[in-house]
Amino acid sequence: MAADRACPPLSVRSFDRDLKWRTGAEIVPVHCTSANGFRVTRAALDDAYRRAQRRRLRVKGVLITNPSNPLGTTSPRADLELLVDFVAAKGIHLVSDEIYSGTAFAEPGFVSVLEVVAARGGAAADGLAERVHVVYSLSKDLGLPGFRVGAIYSSNAAVVSAATKMSSFGLVSSQTQHLLASLLGDRDFTRRYIAENTRRIKERRDQLAEGLRAIGIEVLEGNAGLFCWVRMGSLMRSQSFEGEMELWKKVVFEVGLNISPGSSCHCREPGWFRVCFANMSAKTLDVALQRLAAFAEASGKGAPAHRGLAGGPARTMSCPVARFSWANRLTPGSADRKAER
């Protein structure tokens, strides 16, 4: 909840960086739990609102990511209705970060919050349309983070005016605009691109989830995003945030994988981690799973099933690593990647 500052259900770390550090806004997390697959509830929203009030913060709005980072799930329409009801009742804003909207590969598909608002009659619904905003960028769906191109969809004249003024500090070059216009203007290409991209995301996610489950790691059912939300408590020496950080460091330095600890996303249950598989070949993923399986076995925690996975023992790493996101030096060559396609 962005309060003077509001609240993301399980927020991404970048919210702290993008929202808090630059503007001084406070973020009050909406605590979601594993009991219902981390879905947002009215009670959780009310609780966050009360915590913000106790801190004498003036709540300005709710911030969500749909599809969710770190969960890898789309928000069901019912959850969006709940969120819209909440902001309507409180007279606050709702900002939906839909940067992963093109990654949804299974049911229930992606529903934009703007569809929910439109179904309520748009502007007629008590100024609601002016208080619901969507942010988007080409960084994830098109894999173009280096282009630095994004968009704000808002019917609020003040928001559009402020964004227009701010954008003059980061204008998109004419060459980039020209390239993107021809790319995105090609309907046939975009249709085929999204179909192929989501097919590959599903394939890679299935491979990862299957491999993790074989090691004995619980994986939250997901249908979008570039990551899996997993429970690795069985590999922790203590069921605490200290135990979580200890495991994170071990996996970074001994296994060579960087799997984000849930505490960095404000998760209140120790033991949850975000495993990112973006831009990873099947071979690299295999290597990673083999190393994690060997690590689990060495810790005496691996499920028997993982022993069937091929591959040698985990190698000790002393160099910095890429994210679950894997150690670059174990990444197969580009020839392997091409061969896979």
Ligand X SMILES: Cc1ncc(COP(=O)(O)O)c(C=O)c1O
Q: Which residues bind ligand X (CB under 6 A)?
A: 12, 14, 65, 69, 97, 99, 137, 139, 145, 150
Shortest reach from residue 325's CB to ligand X, in Å: 12
CB neighbourhood size of 181 (10 A)? 10
CA dist., res. 269 & res. 111, Å (int) = 28
Of the pair 70, 302, the CB lying nearest ligand X is at 70
Minimum CB distance to ligand X smaller for 71 or for 208 = 71
Q: How far apart are CA 190 and CA 193, in angstroms?
A: 5
Q: CA torsion 70→74→77→82, rounded to 10°?
A: 0
Q: Min. distance of Cβ 69 from ligand X in angstroms?
A: 4
Q: 2-3 and 59-65 as β-strands: parallel, antiparallel, unpaired?
A: antiparallel
Please, what is the minimum distance in Å from the beta carbon of residue 99 to ligand X? 4
DSSP-assigned states of every residue in 204-257: HHHHHHHHHHHHT-EE----SSSEEEEE-GGG-SSSSHHHHHHHHHHIIIII-B
Q: Smaller CB distance to ligand X: residue 315 or 323?
A: 323
- Burial grade of 34 (CB within 10 A; 0-12, 13-18, 19 or more): middle
CA distance 51 to 49: 5
Looking at beta carbons only, is 10 or 129 nearer to ligand X?
A: 10
From residue 202, how far is each of 75, 205, 228 by CA, in Å?
18, 5, 11
Minimum CB distance to ligand X smaller for 97 or for 297:
97
CB of 51 to ligand X, least distance (A): 23
**Least CB distance from residue 266 to ligand X, whole Å?**
14
Q: In 3-state terms, what secondary structure has residue 140? A: coil
Query: Which residue(s) pair with 235 in the sheet?
Result: none
Residue 187: CB minimum distance to ligand X, A: 24
**Smaller CB distance to ligand X: residue 216 or 225?**
225
CA distance 299 to 244: 15
**Contact predicate 269/262, CB 8 Å:** yes
Nearer to ligand X, 137 or 190 (CB): 137
Closest to ligand X by CB, 137 vs 197, is 137
In angstroms, the CA 333 to CA 210 distance is 24
Q: What are phi and psi of 159, to 5 degrees?
A: -65, -45
Helices 282-298, 187-215: axis angle to 10 degrees equals: 20
Tell me whether residue 150 or residue 243 sits nearer to ligand X (CB atom): 150
Q: Could you tell me the smallest distance in angstroms from the CB atom of residue 122 to ligand X?
A: 26
The least CB distance from residue 75 to ligand X, in Å, is 13
Question: Shortest Cβ distance from residue 98 to ligand X (Å)?
Answer: 9
